[in-house]
Structure 1
Amino acid sequence: TTIDRSRAVFDLRQIAAYQGTVSGQFVVNGRGGLSVGGDLVLAGLAMQPLLIDLGGYDRLIGNGDLRLKFLGVGNSIDAIMRSFSGSGSVSLGKGELRGLDLAGMLRTLDTGYVGAGQKTIFETVSASFVIDKGVLTNNDMVFKAPYVTASGNGAVNLGARTLDYRLRPVALAAVDGSGGVMVPLLITGTWANPKFRLDLEALARERFEEQAKELEARAKAEAAAAEARARVELARKAEQELGIVRQNGESLEDAARRRAQEAIDAEAGRLLERLLGGGN
């Protein structure tokens, strides 16, 4: 620890904590007010006791790695939490999400798979995030479980301890990730009592948009096929009625221009022959 004019810098070589290790730098600055900041690497930490101590959240069980850069300013914990800025990433190995059975919810489209006794076993979870004015935002969360995969994005308000997050879980997908049942899931409310709601309106809208895109693609394909048939018919008529025959690599338009030029050249030749014959 180095202290200089009300500013303390803690160089953390290696600290054992929560079944893992913490290293990096932590700063407490008391010059003209209070601020805290750091650049920390947390490896192999048990997430449940860590999150219980940080925010009273006990639903996530598993060990993970966390990289975190942060800065907070204020004369109380609440003020500091609401001012946080920074960035980081998190990666979890095998674990358990308590209070929510994602696969059961997707199979039945029933939010009753939330509550005591419900859980989702996962293989990996990874995400990066940024923090601004006490709000953590993320748009690249990837969640993999034996029967469910999911992507997610949203916000976590650190000061208010609230969630506004959107998951796109896919249950019972094929080995290659295709198919399966997908229903967007909205997670809102407080950390202590989050609310889960299936976004069926968004699902209907997405399916309508997908169907519209399919119809548009089908219409374009049918138009292209009709155009191709029309060109074939035009080429047939041009050959039969006008004697226009395309050569290798030649378009119908080029063949028509060539045929017209040949006719002009032939007619000019005949006129020249008559003129020369008349002169004799």
Structure 2
Amino acid sequence: MAWIVRILVIVLAAVILALGAFIFLPGERIARIAADQIELRTGRDLQISGDLRVTIWPVLGVQTGPIVLGNAKWASEAPMLQAEALSIGISTSDLLRGQLRVRQILAQAPILRLEQNKGRQNWQFGTGMAEVKGEAAGTDVRNPPGSGIALEVLELQDARLIYVVDGSTRLDQGGVDLEASWQGRAGPLEFRAVLSPNGVPVAIDGTLSDVPAFLNGAVAPVSANASLPDAELVFDGRASPSGEGAGHVRLTVRDSAPLLKAAGHAGVLPVNFGKSGELTAMATYTADSRLSLRNTLLRIDDNTLRGAIDFTAGQVPQVMAELSASVLTVPQNASDKSAAGAETAGDTGWSEAPIDASPLSLAEGVVGLRFERIEAPGVSVGPGRLLLTLERSRAVLQMDPLAVFGGTIRGQLVANNRSGFSVGGNISAEGIELRDALSFLAGVDRLSASAAGNLRFLGVGQTEAQIMRSLSGEGRLQTGQGEIAGLDLDRLISGDPRTGGTTVFNSLTGTFTMAGGKLDNQDLLLRLDNFETRGSGVLGVGMRDLDYLITPISLRANAGKGLSVPVRIRGPWSDLSYEPDLQQLLETELELDVEAEAKAQIRRKLEEELDRPLEEGEDIGDAIKDRLEEEAKKGFLKLLGVD
């Protein structure tokens, strides 16, 4: 309100001089005198167009046509204030008694442009104003401007407010209605503004105490309340004419949808992701557009955070925050996908809906979060610390480290929208319990071991499907001793068709590379006391398919040289097939120019397993396929956690 009161006090002083001295002069002459007086006091040019009408009793008033008040010399060329018409009414009887009571100031369709640049404000009119005012009007310069004025009604109809800082427009809001009243030196100035940003009605009510001191540049008490559907903001503190202020702030949000729409971000957030909340803090706002929140208590649905936040307004807002929490709850996303979000690419299963990564450009800064525990459906994480860095549409989430699945993970995840959207990461893990991790990630709970490993990946694309088909990177996995529940590999290799049991293994290792959405692993090794299982093949992450060969090798058979019975797993994830790979079996045993004795040993072993002699010329594949296929299916389905 400082800028409105200050401007209008100057206008009033000039108009009163003109009315008092030249009340019977033509309107054009009076307008010129008023303009000259304003230019004398402010250094700003005032243009009054159209007819100017004057009344004397009971209200000494003036009505103008369009008016334009020039801007400061250092500011932009656009005028500071312009309006289609201005009407000022002063109580004649009070004026005759030496009191100035303004009955009404009405501006129609005004455009008010407020600018700041390097600590200067265009609503500050210079130090010479009071001296000139004291000489010309006979006032005491020791009294602050406006000390003898009472204002019954100030009304701006259909106003447009523009706020520019260092050449960047921070606010450009039209359709604003403003009312204010001030009962004189001893009373407060009360104001009310109504606006509709993005179609959301917002009402602001406030009180400014000690108006004369405020107009003279001093800090004064101020309170304000802004309300909109399902949200309310309350401020109680002190402010200065330069726009700086400090005090207690409280924001209550019952439903964030109207607030987000008013801020230009339409949408509905799920519970525990900001659908409702409350913020209380000690706030300080400085002339460089920096808002600092201290002793901050932030409640987002059922979660509570504490800490400090610094926010600097600008074309790209800057945010610095350090927050802490005890227990945070992440809800299960139970909402149904929209029709657009459910679009998929044929049998791939990955969504073809475009990913909106534009929020990455909304702000820049660094946000740290330290917590004791994060509870999500099926997993508990913590203690740990997360550090989110936003810079030029790129977000980096640093994990430093996080306790999860009985071990720790550390590293970073990246989302980049600078020139097309991409996601990536570089993560390492130690002491992770595979049973907990696989149960949460894939629903498999039969493999138990303490694991270590790392993963580096990159995916590029504007949809989930594109990203999955483009995945590249590498990784490794290594475990110590562990168990596979529901499957006894030793008994299976020995030819025992019975199911059930437990496999105790000594280690599990493997490495992989990724390119074009395909994960290639050639060195999977599962070691047991009496045999080992090797694996190699390709996991089609992008196309959701698999072509993989698993080869259990009995270390007790064939004089310790081992006998392998490979099983190939292939097909789409939704319909995998399991078949003994007999060609691989024979090639593995015969490819190195095997002697006849070695071939005979293989033949005898096969006859033992079939429990019958092989006929001359009989197809070996047809002979053993029926025997091995069922056992292989049962055994390896359990190994993969599928009943």
Q: TM-score, normalised by structure 1?
A: 0.64
Which residue pairs with 2:564 in the alignment? Answer: 182
Whether 1:150 aligns to 2:150 is no
Contact 1:56 1:192 in 2 (8 A): no
Q: Structure 1: any 5+ residue segments left out of the alignment?
A: 216-280
Instruction: Give the letter aligned to residue 15 of structure 1.
Output: L
Residue 469 (structure 2) pairs with residue 82 (structure 1): yes
Which amino acid is the alignment partner of residue 21 of structure 1? T
On the 8 A contact 1:107/1:181 being kept in 2, the answer is no
Matched residue of 2:468: which SS? helix
Map residues 196-275 of structure 1 onto 2, 5 A cutoff.
196-210=578-592, 212-214=593-595
Corresponding letter in the other structure for 2:542: G
The CA distance in 2 between the partners of 1:134 and 1:16, in whole Å, is: 29
Alignment-derived partner of residue 542 in structure 2: 159
Aligned match of 2:414: 27
Aligned equivalents of 2:446, 2:577: Cα separation in 1: 14
Instruction: Give the distance between the partners of 1:51 and 1:207, measured in 2 at CA.
Output: 35
How many angstroms does 1:42 deviate by? 1.0
Q: Does the CA-based 8 Å contact 1:168-1:182 persist in structure 2?
A: yes
The structure whose RCO (Cα within 8 Å, separation 6+) is larger is 1
Bigger shift: 124-133 or 46-55? Answer: 46-55
- Distance apart, 1:86 and its partner CA: 0.1
Give RMSD over aligned pairs: 2.9
Counterpart contact for 1:109–1:198, Cα < 8 Å: no
Does the 8 Å contact 1:46/1:61 carry over to 2? yes
> How has the CA–CA distance of structure 1 residues 181 and 207 changed in structure 2, closer, same or farther, with 3 Å as cutoff?
closer
Specify the alignment match of 2:617 in structure 1: none
Q: Take 1:84 and 1:51, find their aligned partners in 2: how far apart are those partners?
A: 21
How many residues end up aligned between the 2 structures? 209
Given that residues 57 and 191 in structure 1 are in contact (C-alpha distance below 8 angstroms), is that contact kept between their aligned partners in structure 2? no
Q: Give me the whole-angstrom Cα distance separating, in 2, the residues matched to 1:180 and 1:6.
A: 56
Alpha-carbon deviation of 1:144?
A: 0.3
* Residues 57 and 192, structure 1, Cα contact 8 Å, conserved in 2: no
Counterpart residue identity of residue 19, structure 1: G
Which position in structure 1 is the counterpart of 2:516? Answer: 133
Largest Rg, 1 or 2: 2
Secondary structure of the residue aligned to 1:213 is coil
Q: 1 CA distance for matches of 2:479 and 2:575?
A: 23
User: Is the alpha carbon distance of 1:39 and 1:152 closer, same or farther for their aligned partners in structure 2, counting shifts above 3 Å?
Assistant: same
1:135 Cα deviation after fit:
1.0
The match for 1:38 among 419, 425, 429 is 425
Distance in 1, matches of 2:436 and 2:575, equals 18
Aligned partner of 2:330 in structure 1 is none
Q: Alignment partner for residue 60 of structure 1, among 440, 447, 451?
A: 447
Give per-residue Cα distances to partners, 1:72-108, cap 9 Å, x unaligned.
1233434322221001111012223356543333222
Instruction: Tell me, yes or no, if structure 1 residue 72 matches structure 2 residue 454.
Output: no
- Alignment identity in percent? 36
Equivalence for 2:556: 173
Distance 2:467 2:405 in 1: 24
User: Whole-Å Cα distance in 2 between the matches of residues 57 and 179 of structure 1?
Assistant: 33
- The aligned counterpart of 1:123 is 506
Q: Which one-letter code corresponds to 2:432 in the other structure?
A: L
Other-structure match for 1:5: 392
2:404 matches 1:17: yes
- Cα deviation per residue 1:132-164 (whole Å; 9 max; x = unaligned)? 111110112221023321222111122344332
CA gap of 1:142–1:118, structure 2 versus 1, over 3 A, is same
Q: Deviations over 1:167-193 (max 9, x none)?
A: 22212438xx93343212222345576
Instruction: Give SS of 1:15's match.
Output: strand
Aligned counterparts of 1:35 and 1:202: Cα–Cα separation in 2: 40
More helix by share: 1
Q: Distance in 1 between matches of 2:443 and 2:465?
A: 15
Aligned partners of 1:51, 1:73: CA distance in 2, in Å?
A: 26
Q: Cα 1:169–1:16, aligned 2, differ >3 Å: closer, same or farther?
A: same
Q: Provide the residue aligned with 2:311 in structure 1.
A: none
| C-alpha distance after superposition, 1:110-135 (max 9, x if no partner) | 6x85xxx4653321011111001111
Q: 1:207 to 1:172 in 2, by over 3 A?
A: closer
SS of residue paired to 1:201: helix
Aligned match of 2:494: 107
**TM-score, normalisation: structure 2:** 0.30
